[in-house]
Structure formats: C-alpha cells, structure tokens
C-alpha cells in the first residue's frame, strides 16, 4: 500500500476539484427544491384562502334565515360567471 500512495498524490487536485463541483451541484439542487417548495406553499395558501372565502359565504347563507337560499346561490353563480368573464378578457391566452 505504501508504494501506491504516491500515485494518489498527483490525483489529489482532481479529486478535490470533483468534490467541489459535486458540492456546488448539490447546493443548486437544494436551492431549486426550496424554490419549488415555496411556490407550492404559495399556491396552497392561495387555494386555502379561496376555500375559506367560500366557506364563509356558505356559513353566511346557512345562518342568515331571512333570505332565500336558492336566490343567494344563483346570485353567487352569476357573480362567478361575471368574474370568469372578466378574467377571460384580461387573459385571452386562457381560452
């Protein structure tokens, strides 16, 4: 084994360089995964907010006894149609 150590000494800079490249590559992968996770968390937060708003509307409809439930549901559908049409006008690429 003592005779073979001299062969490894000239290879040391290449080994260190490869390790450095590999470490930087692993760091970039970790950063990409972090960004993807952050984007997913933002999407989930937006989706969660929309669901909370919908539940609030439903709670208001159910607890407000003075109004006709069917009329309110239809009004909400009409509102969503208008909102959808407005979004389509703003973003024609979605069509």
Query: What is the predicted pLDDT for the residue at 73?
Result: 74
Q: What pLDDT was estimated at residue 5?
A: 77
Q: What tens digit of pLDDT does each residue of 18-43 get?
A: 999 999 999 999 999 999 999 999 99
Rounded to whole angstroms, how far apart are CA atoms 46 and 42?
A: 6
The CA-atom distances, in angstroms, between 28 and each of 37, 62, 95 are 14, 51, 36
Asked whether residue 11 carries a pLDDT value surpassing 70, the answer given is yes
Residue 95, pLDDT above cutoff 70: no
pLDDT of residue 58: 84
* CA gap 44, 38 in Å, rounded: 10
Query: pLDDT tens-digit profile of 42-94?
Result: 999 989 999 998 898 888 877 776 556 677 777 777 776 666 666 776 666 65
Ranges of each domain in the chain: 24-63, 66-95
Count how many residues are written for the chain: 95
**If pLDDT is split at 50, 70 and 90, which confidence band does 10 have?**
confident
Q: Write out the DSSP string of the chain.
A: -TTTHHHHHHHHHHHHHHHHHHHHHHHHHHHHHHHHHHHHHHHHHHHHHHHHHHHHHHHHHHH-TTS-HHHHHHHHHHHHHHHHHHHHHH-GGG-
């Amino acid at each position: 084994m003592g005779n073979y150590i001299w062969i490894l000494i000239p290879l040391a800079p290449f080994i260190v360089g490869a390790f450095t490249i590999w470490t930087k590559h692993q760091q970039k992968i970790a950063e990409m995964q972090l960004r993807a996770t952050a984007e997913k968390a933002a999407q989930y937060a937006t989706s969660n907010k929309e669901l909370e708003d919908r539940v609030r509307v439903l709670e208001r409809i159910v607890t407000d006894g003075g109004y006709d439930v069917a009329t309110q549901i239809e009004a909400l559908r009409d509102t969503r149609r208008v909102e959808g049409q407005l979004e389509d006008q703003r973003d024609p690429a979605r069509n």
